[in-house]
Structure 1
Amino acid sequence: MRVLGDVLAKQGRALPDRIALIDPRRDRRYSFAEVAQRSVRIANGLASLGVRSGDRVAMLLGNSAVCAELPFAVGLLGAVTVNVNERLKHDEVGFILADSGASVVVTSTDLLGTVAAVGARLPQLRQVITVDGAVPGTVDFEAMVAGASPNPPRVDTAENSTAMLIYTSGTTGRPKGVQLTHANLIHSATNFLVEGFHNAEGVYLACVPYYHAACIPHMAALMRGMTVIAVPFDLETVVDLIERYRVTDAFLVPTMIALLLQRPDLLDAHDLSSLQTIFYAAAPIPVPVLGVALERFGPIFVQMYGLSESATISTVLRKEDHRLDGDQRRLASCGREITHVEVRVGSVEEECPAGERGELLLRGANVMAGYWGLPEATAQALKGGWLHTGDIGIRDAEGYLYIVDRKHDMIITGGANVYPREVEDVLYSHPAVAEAAVIGVPDQTWGETVLAVISLHAQKMATEAELVGFCAERLADYKKPRQVAFVDTVPKTPVGKIDKAALRSRFAGVAVDAS
C-alpha cells in the first residue's frame, strides 16, 4: 500500500464480503467491497463539486461511519482531509478553516450554526455538505454518493504529498496544522499492525475523537481486515457496544478508562469478556489507577506514546509489561521504541546516559512533513532531522522510557528544577486524590513555587495540610506543594489531557506562602 486510497481498494478485492464498518445507530453493516465502492463514489462526488488534487476538505464531525471512510475518499483525489474538532467554539473553527484554506466542509446539521457563524470570513469556502439530511444551501452527502460515478478517479498521487492536516491543541498559542503525508499515515498504520490489531477476525471500537491522530488506528484495523465501529465516547454506549458486537479491541484515553472504573455497577451489568486489548495513549495513567484497571480487566492493556507530529505511535508498553506482581515501577513507563522509530533522550548531538533526564527526540517515516504554512516552526521542530517533542524523559538500563514532564511545564523554584509529574505521582498515591495537576505560580522571592490542583474521590476527604505533609514525607522540601487548590474537576483539553495552560491562567494571581 503506497497511498491512502490503496487501503480500501486492496481490501475490497481481497476481503469483499467481510464486514468493514458498522453504523450502530442504524445497525447497518458495510462490507469491504461496499466501503471500497463508497470511497470511490464519495471521491467522484467531491470532484463533481470542484475538489481537485491539493484542495483541502474539512471534516467537522463527531465519530461516525462517515469519519471512517471520508479520508480514504479524499485521498483518492490527492486532496487533503482537514480534521476539525466539532467541540470547538466558532472562532476556533473559523481559524482552522481559514488557516487550512478549506474549500469544502463535511459536517452535520447540528453544526451548521458554527459554519454559518464563520462563513462570511471564509471566501475560499465553496461548499457545505451535510451527512444527516438535506438542508437548503447545502449538499446532501448520501445523495451526492448515490449520484456519483463508480469508476475510480484517475489521479496520480505522490506518497510524499500531504494527505491530512491535524491541528494541535494550541496550548501554547494558536493551533498549528500538522502535515501528515500518505507515507506518514501508511507507515504509522503499519506500526500499529506490528504492535497491535493481531486478530484479523476482531472488532475495533474507535471512540477517541477522529479529529485527533486517533483516526490513524482505524486505518490499521481496516488494513488488518477487522471490523470498525466509530462512535463518540459515552459510558453507557461504550459498554453496550462492547457487549452487543463482541468488541475485541478498543482505543481509549486515560480519562475514559478512569470514568469507566468509577462505574463498577455499569461494568458489572454487561458482558465485556470479548475484550482482548485496550490501547491507551494521549497521557500516562497514574499507576494506582492503572492497578485498578488491571485488576478489573486483566492484563489486556497496551500503552502507546506519540504525538500528532509523529502520527501517534512511537513507543509501546506491551501487555507483558503490565504486571501487578513484583516491581510495579514499569507501569509508569511508556515502553520502548518500536521497530521502525528511533527515540533519543537528549539532543541531536548527544544521547543522555541511562537514568538522566533529557528531551525526547523522534525519527522515522511516520514523522510529519512539517507545520502547515509555518516554515520557521517546522525548522525548529525538525532541527537536525529529529522531531523535538518537548517531552522530558529518561531511559532506564533496559531501554524503557519514562516521560517525566513537558519541557515547558518544568517549574524552576529558587534555581532548582521541579518536574510536576514527579509530584503528581506522589499525590495520586494518596487514597483521597482522584485527579492531580501541579503547576508553577509566580513568586517574587523564588521565581516560582509549586501549586497542586486537586479533585477528590466522592465520599473522600483530605485537607491542604494533610496533602502537603504527605508530599513532604516523600519528596525533597523544595518539590512539595506550597499550596493546594481543591476543584470539582480538573480541566481537560478536548482529547482528555489535563489542561495546564487553563490552570496557569486561572491561578496566575494566586498568592503562595513559600516560607
Structure 2
Amino acid sequence: MHIAELPDLRARRDADGPCTADETSVLDNAAFARRVRRAAAALRARGIGRGDVVALLLPNTVDFVVVLFAAWRLGAAVTPVNPALTDDEVRYQLGYAGAAVVVTAEPSTLARTLTVAELGATAEDTAAPQTDADALALLIYTSGSTGRPKGVMLDHANLAAMAGMMIESARLSEADHSLLILPLFHVNGILAGVLSPLLAGGRVTVAGRFRAETFFDLVEAARPTCFSAVPAIYSMLAELPDHVRPDTSSVRFAACGAAPMPPALIERFERRYGIPILEGYGLSEGTCASTTNPLDGPRRPGTVGRPMPGQQVAVMDPQGRIVPAGETGEVVVRGPNVMRGYLGRPEETARAVVDGWLHTGDVGRFDEDGYLVLVDRIKDMIIRGGENIYPKEVETVLGDHPDVLEAAVVGAADPRLGEVPVAFVALRPGAATDADGLLDHCRARLARFKVPTDIVFVDRLPRNPVGKTDKPALRARTTAVTVAG
C-alpha cells in the first residue's frame, strides 16, 4: 500500500472508525477521506499535480493533515512552513522549494495562496491516487543554526520505511491513539505523531498550542495511548504544582527526541506520572529517528537507545573507519530512511552522505550492550587551551544538581585560552543555590579545565522552532559576559 492510498483504505475498512480530531472537529475514517478528496480537487483546480510542491503555512490542526494527504494523492510534495517565521524567511523557503501554491488558514498577502475554507468548497476528486514510491513526499527545512536552512528531500519510500520502523519499535496497532503536541512543520510531528499511528490503524488527536497547565486536562479527556515531546516540555510538566495529579493510565509510553534529556529529569517525570519515556535520537536527514530505548526495557537514561530495526547505526573515526564499542567518534546512519539529499545543494549532499552513510555531525559511542551515548555535536565542542570540552558532559553534571531545572554550556572567546565554557542555567522554583554553589558542584565532578568560568542565570533557555536549545543565541550573549580566564 502507498501512503497516498491510506485515507481511502481506512474508509473502506471501517467507515465509522475514529481517525483524526482537533479542538474544533472530529472526523471518522469516511469523513476524513471525503475531506482529503475535496482538498485534492481544489489543489488540482489550481493546476497542482505530479512533481509540484505544496507549501503548508498552517497551525497544528486537522486541516494540515488533510492537505498533506491531498497533496500526496496528486503526486505532489509538501513543504511545511513554520508559522512563526518572518515574511522574509517564509518567502525564502517558498522560493527555494519552488512552491506552486501556499495553503494558509486565513487570506494572505503571499502569492498563489489557497485558504483551508476554499479547500472544502469543491466536489471530491475521483482520480486514483498517485502511487510512485520514488516521488518526493516532503521538503523539510532545517532550523538553520549553521546558516540558511536547507531543504531535506524525503521520498515516499523514506516515509514508508520510517513509519514501519516506528510501528515495529513501539508496537503500534489499531488500539493506539496518538496525542500530537509537537509542531507539524517538523518531521517528528508528521512521522511519529500522525503517519505512523494512522498507518498502524490507530487514530490521532491534534492538539493546538502546548500549555503545561492544561496538557493533562487534554490527556484525561482524550485518553491517548502515546505522545511525543521534547525535553523542555517534560521539564515544564515535571515542574507543575504538587496538587496536579492527573489520571495518566491510558498512556503506554511517551517518546522524547530533538535533544538529549537529563537522566534526572527522566527519573523525576516517570516517578511522578507513571509514564515510561522512550528517549531516542534522529535527524530530519534520516526521516526522524534512528535509535530508541526499547519499550520493554531495559531503558537506559543517559543513552538514546539502540538502533531501530532496518537501520545501521555506527560510530566512525575521522578516517571513515567504524570503531568498536566504547570508542568515541562521529555517529553515522545507513538505511532506507536516509534522505535523497539537500534540494539544490549537491556538494553539501555529497559531504553529508558518503558511501550510503549519513554523517550526522554528532559525537557518540556505543556501550557494551549496544546503547548509543551521545557525547555532543562536533561543532559545539569547546577547545580550551588545547583541551577538548564537550558541553553535554558539563550540562549533565549541572543537571544532576537538585536546584537546576535546565542548563546549557557554550564556548566564549578568550584571548589567552581561545575558548572557555560559560554555563547558562535556569533554576527550579524556590531554589536556594547560587553561582558559587554550582561551581563547587562542578569542581567535585569535573576536571578543572571543564568547569565553567561563569554561570549566567536565566528564567528559561531559548529554544529554536523544533525545541532544541538555541545555542547560537547563547553564544551571542557571551560577548556581554565578563569571562575570567
- TM > 0.5: yes
Q: Which residue of 2 aligns with 1:73?
A: 70
Q: Which amino acid in the other structure matches residue 57 of structure 1?
A: V
Q: Which residue of 1 aligns with 2:294?
A: 318
Deviation at 1:460, TM superposition (A): 0.8
Q: Which residue of 2 aligns with 1:418?
A: 389
Q: Secondary structure at the match of 1:6?
A: helix
CA deviation string 1:63-98 (max 9, x = no partner):
111122221110111111011111112221121111
Mapped to 1, the partners of 2:404 and 2:277 lie a distance apart of 23
* Aligned partner (choices 481, 493, 500) of residue 464 of structure 2: 493
Mapped to 1, the partners of 2:52 and 2:376 lie a distance apart of 38
Q: Which amino acid in the other structure matches residue 101 of structure 1?
A: G
- What is the aligned-residue RMSD (CA, Å)? 1.7
Conserved in 2, the CA contact under 8 Å of 1:253 and 1:281?
Answer: yes
Q: Which residue of 2 aligns with 1:333?
A: 303
- 1:148 maps onto 2:141 in alignment: no
Deviation at 1:237, TM superposition (A): 4.1
Q: Which residue of 2 aligns with 1:136?
A: none
Q: Which amino acid in the other structure matches residue 315 of structure 2?
A: V
Mapped to 2, the partners of 1:152 and 1:32 lie a distance apart of 19
Q: Which residue of 2 aligns with 1:350?
A: 321
After alignment, is 7-16 or 493-502 more displaced? 7-16
Mapped to 2, the partners of 1:297 and 1:106 lie a distance apart of 39
Mapped to 2, the partners of 1:154 and 1:242 lie a distance apart of 35
- 1:42 maps onto 2:39 in alignment: yes
Q: Secondary structure at the match of 1:321?
A: coil
Conserved in 1, the CA contact under 8 Å of 2:248 and 2:274?
Answer: no
* Aligned partner (choices 297, 301, 309) of residue 285 of structure 2: 309
Q: Which residue of 1 aligns with 2:9?
A: 10
Q: Which residue of 1 aligns with 2:115?
A: 130
Unaligned runs of 5+ in 2: none
CA deviation string 1:12-32 (max 9, x = no partner):
222322111123x23x32122
Conserved in 2, the CA contact under 8 Å of 1:359 and 1:389?
Answer: yes
- 1:372 maps onto 2:343 in alignment: yes
Mapped to 2, the partners of 1:390 and 1:153 lie a distance apart of 42
Q: Show the 5 A alignment for 1:358-397.
A: 358-397=329-368
Conserved in 1, the CA contact under 8 Å of 2:280 and 2:304?
Answer: yes
CA deviation string 1:251-293 (max 9, x = no partner):
111111111111145732x432211111111112111111111
Q: Show the 5 A alignment for 1:406-445.
A: 406-445=377-416
Q: Which amino acid in the other structure matches residue 413 of structure 2?
A: P
Mapped to 1, the partners of 2:302 and 2:61 lie a distance apart of 33
Unaligned runs of 5+ in 1: 120-124, 134-139, 324-329
Mapped to 2, the partners of 1:445 and 1:69 lie a distance apart of 57
Mapped to 2, the partners of 1:63 and 1:197 lie a distance apart of 25
Q: Secondary structure at the match of 1:63?
A: coil
Conserved in 2, the CA contact under 8 Å of 1:61 and 1:84?
Answer: yes
CA deviation string 1:367-392 (max 9, x = no partner):
11011111111111112211111111
Q: Which amino acid in the other structure matches residue 158 of structure 1?
A: D
Mapped to 1, the partners of 2:422 and 2:469 lie a distance apart of 15
Task: Go from structure 1 to structure 2 and tell me whether the alpha carbon gap of 1:86 and 1:197 turns closer, same or farther (over 3 Å shift).
Answer: farther
Conserved in 2, the CA contact under 8 Å of 1:21 and 1:31?
Answer: yes
Q: Which residue of 1 aligns with 2:134?
A: 160
Task: Go from structure 1 to structure 2 and tell me whether the alpha carbon gap of 1:256 and 1:299 turns closer, same or farther (over 3 Å shift).
Answer: closer
Mapped to 1, the partners of 2:159 and 2:214 lie a distance apart of 29
CA deviation string 1:285-310 (max 9, x = no partner):
11111111110122522122111111
Q: Which amino acid in the other structure matches residue 314 of structure 2?
A: R
Q: Which residue of 2 aligns with 1:202?
A: 176
Conserved in 2, the CA contact under 8 Å of 1:197 and 1:220?
Answer: no
Mapped to 2, the partners of 1:77 and 1:161 lie a distance apart of 11
Deviation at 1:431, TM superposition (A): 1.5
Q: Which residue of 1 aligns with 2:268?
A: 292
Q: Which amino acid in the other structure matches residue 336 of structure 1?
A: R
- 1:216 maps onto 2:191 in alignment: yes
Conserved in 1, the CA contact under 8 Å of 2:315 and 2:328?
Answer: yes
Mapped to 2, the partners of 1:283 and 1:355 lie a distance apart of 22
Conserved in 2, the CA contact under 8 Å of 1:301 and 1:322?
Answer: no
Conserved in 2, the CA contact under 8 Å of 1:197 and 1:249?
Answer: no
How many residues get paired?
A: 481
Deviation at 1:360, TM superposition (A): 0.5
Identity of aligned residues (%): 39
Q: Which amino acid in the other structure matches residue 308 of structure 1?
A: S
Task: Go from structure 1 to structure 2 and tell me whether the alpha carbon gap of 1:152 and 1:197 turns closer, same or farther (over 3 Å shift).
Answer: farther
Mapped to 1, the partners of 2:127 and 2:248 lie a distance apart of 41
Deviation at 1:152, TM superposition (A): 2.8
Q: Which amino acid in the other structure matches residue 105 of structure 1?
A: V
After alignment, is 299-308 or 395-404 more displaced? 299-308
Conserved in 2, the CA contact under 8 Å of 1:222 and 1:228?
Answer: yes
Q: Which residue of 2 aligns with 1:326?
A: none
Q: Secondary structure at the match of 2:332?
A: strand
Conserved in 1, the CA contact under 8 Å of 2:38 and 2:119?
Answer: no
Conserved in 2, the CA contact under 8 Å of 1:58 and 1:97?
Answer: yes
Mapped to 2, the partners of 1:224 and 1:197 lie a distance apart of 9
Conserved in 1, the CA contact under 8 Å of 2:334 and 2:357?
Answer: yes
Mapped to 2, the partners of 1:498 and 1:179 lie a distance apart of 25
Mapped to 2, the partners of 1:68 and 1:238 lie a distance apart of 21
Mapped to 1, the partners of 2:290 and 2:129 lie a distance apart of 34
